[in-house]
Amino acid sequence: MSGDGGSPGQQHGGGQPYGPGAHGPGTQGPGGGPGYWPGYGQPGGHPHGGWGQSPWGAVPVAPKPGVLPLRPLAFGEMFSAVFDTVRRYTGALYLPLAAVTGVLAVPMVVVAVLLAGRLGDAYNALPDTSRGEEPTGDQLWALGWPLLVVFGLILLLGIVQYVIAGPLATVVLRAATLGRRMTAGQAWKEARPRLGAAVASMALLYGPLLVLNVLLVGLAVGLGTVTGSVPLFLLLLLLSAAIGVAGVYAVVRLAPQVPVLVLEDSTPKAAIGRAWQLNRGNWWRSFGLTALVTAIGRVAAGVISYPLSIALSVLVPLSSVDFEGESARLQLSHGTMTAVLVGYSLLVLFGTLATGPLVPLVNGVLYIDRRIRNERLDIALAEAAGIHFAEAYGYPQAAPSAPAQPASAQPAPSAPVPPQPGAPAEPGTAAEPSAGEGPAGR
């Protein structure tokens, strides 16, 4: 079938019926359902039915006021909508996130500068392995703990970026779906009130998974070291891996969590339950779209940052190579290590900034698709955009029939018979003037 999605009532996309009367489970009528978006109130249904309704059962092309056609979405349409939103609303998406990233970069640069000297000294103190010398545990720890602090801080700042990008991308997608303009200031103003709820929602999702995995890995290492029991060690590692797999399933299943939180003004706990129910039977589709968009985004960010990484490698001067005997060993000064550490950290932050809005946009598109399929959100969105489905594409409307007139009790008057020339006129009627005569009194 063509891109119009098929005739009303056909199976489309995920095998979900749509068309007039094709309401999914839990729906409350056209455009309704548990979520009250758009308008932050109960959206009304269109009196003429749903998408694709016409007097002859023909199917018009779905309206597309913004980046999404208002009908059940195909995989390629959802993929295109993500990057169309990035292209059309670049400023609204990235300017607030870039400002936040700039603020977050300050403590990261400070920490990198403070630890660069220690890291450089620890690296220079390592023995030459080419001569058969092995580093001690203290030497490895002196090298490792500054790196752990820097990488941990980068990870924490990346999480902060992701949490902020969630509500920000959702409010931008709301405007992009209806084809409305949005500035960076408007996007930040609408997203800011939901940041606290987004933090709580992410903590409810990722917190238990992280705690369980840390406990199991720590328990496995501790018991394996103390008891020396290899089977117990492997069992705990397998349990940790199983929890990780379950966590991946839960995260993908709860993809619409932040859109529910923002667009339906829900609480964090209620958003988790609503997202779990809304995304039922859509796991592989959600996983595939998220993985594809993430991979393409990272490739694009890598292509952009590649010249910066080349420039960063040039910062290591050749004069820092120390020739000792037959081997050449790199000796890093404090200045060189500081430049390398700060540059690498900023490069990682730039990559997370470039790809930060992509996954939240995927989650928002999945949310809209699920609500269109199950709750007829397309009708409410079309009404919010000022579009009426049946009359937007030249399909004639059924004109309202005029009320029937009551039949008269008297017979209809017959047509008047012109009088014959010379015949006397009937009493009470005026004689017809002959040709050439004007009206009486002239």
CA dihedral 177, 181, 186, 187 (to 10 degrees): 40
Q: Could you tell me the mean pLDDT of each successive run of 10 residues in the chain, 442 residues long?
A: 36 36 39 49 38 44 89 94 96 94 90 87 78 78 88 89 95 95 95 94 88 78 64 77 89 96 93 95 95 93 81 60 52 77 86 92 97 91 79 43 49 50 47 42 38
| 92 HSE (CA, 13 A, CB side) | 25
Nearest to 30 by CA among 277, 395, 383: 383
What pLDDT was estimated at residue 427? 46
Output the CA angle 54-19-175, nearest 5 degrees. Answer: 95
- Structure-token match 């195909």, residue found: 74
DSSP 35: -
DSSP string of 115-180? HHHHHHHHHHTS--GGGT----HHHHHHHHHHHHHHHHHHHHHHHHHHHHHHHHHHHHHHHHHHT-
Domain boundaries, the chain: 89-375
CA dihedral 20, 81, 279, 239 (to 10 degrees): 160
Q: How many Å apart are CA 79 and CA 82, to the nearest integer?
A: 6
What pLDDT was estimated at residue 83? 95
- Decide: pTM greater than 0.75: no
Phi, psi of 321 (to 5 degrees): -80, 125
Q: How many Å apart are CA 38 and CA 381, to the nearest integer?
A: 7
Tell me the CA distances in angstroms from 182 to 88, 170, 306, 408, one per residue in order.
10, 12, 32, 63
Q: How many Å apart are CA 39 and CA 325, to the nearest integer?
A: 76
DSSP 33: S
Tell me the CA distances in angstroms from 351 to 136, 260, 292, one per residue in order.
35, 27, 17
Beta bridge partners of 324: 327
What pLDDT was estimated at residue 287? 96
- In sign, the C-alpha dihedral spanning 86, 92, 93, 95 is positive
Output the CA angle 320-347-150, nearest 5 degrees. Answer: 75
Q: How many Å apart are CA 288 and CA 284, to the nearest integer?
A: 6
Q: How many Å apart are CA 52 and CA 5, to the nearest integer?
A: 9
